[in-house]
Amino acid sequence: MADTVRTEIEAGVAVVTIDSPPVNALDETTLEALGAAAARIADDEVSAAVLRGAGGKALAAGADLNELRGALGNRAVMEHHVGITRPVFSAWADLEVPVLAAVDGSAVGGGLELALVCDLIVAERTARLGFPEVKLGLIPGAGGTQRLPRRVGAATAMQMLILGKLLDAEEAREVGLVDIVVEEDAAASATELAARIAAGAGQAVRAAKRAVRAAAEQPLGQGLDFERELFLDVAMTADAREGASAFLERRAAEFKNR
């Protein structure tokens, strides 16, 4: 597993690199390694994570088409593939800490589905993103049809999914798919941003992530109740008191994640 996915942790930031040449296809070995990386992040003292692809061509290229071609038409084999993919993607989506996807060459198909489980997407200006599965007689099968509308809205998602059109980074930013566009080295920019997050008040950051995620899953009234409880929890922390004191004393806050 270490051959296809590497995890490096420094100063509370985990950088997870998919390294499965030539385009980081999500075969079973790589999926298993990604699941292990998510578990390590959940168990380690990590405050933010970056998910990136090696080689400069893609974050990930989705399913290995050589493997997929032989499986099409065999429902049992396809169910097995879906069965191992969904838990891995869910493990990343369920991480309490913010996760940033760094996209250089492309995030297409399963690669975009992987990016969509992240909280922020940083892409290089030359990157391409989209779901071309319909052109292969397929649809996304690892959350793309469900997570994309929640991020960009139903109308934009419908166009992307039924036309199979790829967007460049600026187009993706305009529709809300990409958060930050950079000229080069998306991984470095994402890692720098993750370091800023890791230096903040960890409990407040995690609470903010939980609150925003909940907004898409429950009615407004329930969401407001949930926000209230999260607010009261973080208001009791030492970091909240430190943040207020630092602001009033005009100094940099020294958060201790407690």
In angstroms, rounded to a whole number, what is the distance separating the alpha carbons of residues 207 and 4? Answer: 32
What is the spatial order of strands in the sheet that 120-124 belongs to? 5-10, 13-18, 48-53, 99-103, 120-124, 180-182
**What are the DSSP E strand ranges found in 55-210?**
99-103, 106-108, 120-124, 128-130, 166-168, 180-182
Catalytic residue (one of 133, 183, 184, 217) = 133
Catalytic residue (one of 113, 124, 183, 184) = 113
What is the spatial order of strands in the sheet that 128-130 belongs to? 106-108, 128-130, 166-168
Count CB neighbours of 94 within 10 A. Answer: 11
Tokens found for residue 118? 């992240």
Question: Is 113 tagged catalytic?
Answer: yes
Question: Is 217 tagged catalytic?
Answer: no
Tokens found for residue 124? 């290089």
Which residues are known to be catalytic? 113, 133
